[in-house]
Chains A and B, each alone.
Chain A
Amino acid sequence: MIPLAQPPHTEDAPTSAEAGAPDLMEIYRAHVDYVWRIARSLGIPADAAEDVTQEVFLCVHHRLHTFRPGGSMRAWLFGITRNLVLHDKRSYARRERHLAALPHPQETAREPDATVRVQQAAALMQAFLDELDLDKRLVFQMTEIEEMTADEIAEALAIPLGTVYSRLRAARARLERFRLRLHARDERRHACATNP
């Protein structure tokens, strides 16, 4: 089940601003990673994610007065991000096509402390997310990675609560199959290594 009142990841913790008048920089610090990941999930390539993220927060700056104090900040941010991505969809799609054609696409430099194992695990998660369709992917990502509540997700995606749960169930079942596949592959490799 989706955690209803689980303490979220420290970085993405809702700020005191959510209750009262939110401050732009507080919102930025609390949700920049979330917006970045949502933009990436919506198909924005890595090299354009910074532009999009920045545009989102500038947009937030302009529209802050329209944020409903009782509402979910992350649901609101999702709406802005999605609209912005859709607005510039064609240009980003064009860029992505061209970038995909490049022989060695350059990605944004990662942090130096990212170990090989972390990189591999992240790549596996990315591969799994890429296997999912966008509906399931968003629900899964919002639940497992962003630690959003089911209500927040339903609000963000404008879908019934039951749909959130059913999509999550399906995504988790796929993850289990994905992990079993990985495990089986590792077992085979191990067997090959020990019995040449």
Chain B
Amino acid sequence: MRDEPVTTPELVAAYRDRERPSEAARERMARALMAATAARSATVIPLRPSRRQRRGVAGGWLALAAALALIGASSYWLVSARQQPSGPADMLLDAHDPAPAQGTVTPKASEAPGGRVVHAIAEPRATTVEGENVELVAATTVEGTVENVEPEAATKIEGAAVEVAAKTETAAADPAQRRAGRSQARQVAADSPRGEDAPADPVLEELMLIQQIKDALDAERPAAALAAIDAHARKFARGSLVEEREALRVVALCDTGEVVRGERAQRAFIKAYPRSAYRERVRAACPVAAAATEQSTID
């Protein structure tokens, strides 16, 4: 430092200048955000549909609920008029009623396909808002279930849970791609290091490899990043940073322009880690192709 004392504004300016994202990082984030903004309106994600789509799905459920309610209520009235003198209030208070009226049909729709049933309290004010809440609960339950089942079963569960959205999505998804995704996952799981040349601190080695991947991506060398990813996958098939590696794989594949593989990896990642902190970044990694696919799915 020079002789004169450093002033506070100088310290502040220097800190501001140094403590900020690099230009490359800024651009990367901006690209991802713009892609997310563009793709979001057309995104159909089975486990976590966007708010707009959720509303759409909720609208579908409500229409279905209204139809069921009309049928159910009329038949209930026919039966109950003969059996016991219960009025509409009694009907609304009975959560196990097979054919409740109006919004109370939604608990029926909230049966989670993993064998778990979500009982919503059938209050008289169980209208549109509660319908949406119940649906969210169902989605959460399904997500929790998916984590513990094998991928094929998970696909089935998705299809059952998010009926309308998942049906179109599953129909659009190429079965061959899904098979490939599964075999890829198995391959990764198969070649576990288990032993011979395990270093003293494998976590440190893992971290260094992950750092290499990030550095390569920072330097816009996705091919080198992919090589490092493969190296990590070979050495740490079941390492503690597999989630990070797979997220970076999606980013690297999309950066190299390998859209098909990128999308496949993206689907596999979201399926394997539905609650990952990287999920949004992974979703935004292959936005153009994802948007095109999803647009055609919607149409």
Show the binding face of A for B, using Cβ within 8 Å.
Answer: 9, 24-25, 28-29, 32-33, 36-37, 40, 47, 49-51, 53-55, 57-59, 61-62, 87-88, 91, 95, 98-99, 101-102, 106, 108-111, 114, 117-122, 124-126, 128-129, 144-145, 175, 179, 182-183, 186, 190
Query: Which residues from B are CB-within-8-Å of A106?
Result: 211, 215
Of the residues B2, B3, B21, contact of A50 by C-beta under 8 Å: B21
Of the residues A55, A110, A117, A126, contact of B22 by C-beta under 8 Å: A110
Q: With A54-B280, A91-B277, A126-B15 given, name 18 new contacts (CB 8 A).
A: A24-B37, A25-B30, A28-B30, A28-B33, A32-B21, A36-B19, A50-B28, A55-B280, A57-B33, A95-B207, A99-B207, A101-B204, A106-B215, A108-B21, A111-B22, A117-B2, A125-B15, A145-B12
Closest approach, in angstroms, between the C-beta of A67 and any C-beta of chain B? 15
- Docked-complex contact A33 and B20, CB < 8 angstroms: yes
Q: How far is the CA of A117 from the CA of B215 in the complex (A)?
A: 26
**What are the 3 A-B residue pairs with the smallest beta carbon separation, nearest first?**
A121-B14, A122-B18, A125-B15
Query: Which residues from A are CB-within-8-Å of B211?
Result: 47, 106
Closest approach, in angstroms, between the C-beta of A178 and any C-beta of chain B? 9
- Docked-complex contact A121 and B11, CB < 8 angstroms: yes
Q: How far is the CA of A144 from the CA of B16 in the complex (A)?
A: 10
B117 at the A/B interface (Cβ < 8 Å)? no
- Docked-complex contact A120 and B29, CB < 8 angstroms: no
Q: How far is the CA of A87 from the CA of B275 in the complex (A)?
A: 12
- Chain B 22-56 per-residue mask, 1 if CB under 8 angstroms from chain A, else 0: 11111011101110110010000000000100000
B258 at the A/B interface (Cβ < 8 Å)? no
- Docked-complex contact B17 and A53, CB < 8 angstroms: no
- Docked-complex contact B29 and A28, CB < 8 angstroms: yes
A109 to B, closest residue via Cβ: B22
B1 at the A/B interface (Cβ < 8 Å)? yes
- Docked-complex contact A118 and B25, CB < 8 angstroms: no
Query: Which residues from A are CB-within-8-Å of B208?
Result: 102
Closest approach, in angstroms, between the C-beta of B108 and any C-beta of chain A? 29
- Docked-complex contact A49 and B21, CB < 8 angstroms: yes
- Docked-complex contact A179 and B5, CB < 8 angstroms: yes
Query: Which residues from A are CB-within-8-Å of B1?
Result: 117, 120, 182, 186
A190 to B, closest residue via Cβ: B3
Instruction: State whether A32 and B40 are in contact (beta carbons under 8 Å apart), knowing that A108-B218, A179-B6 are contacts in the complex.
Output: no
- Docked-complex contact A54 and B16, CB < 8 angstroms: no
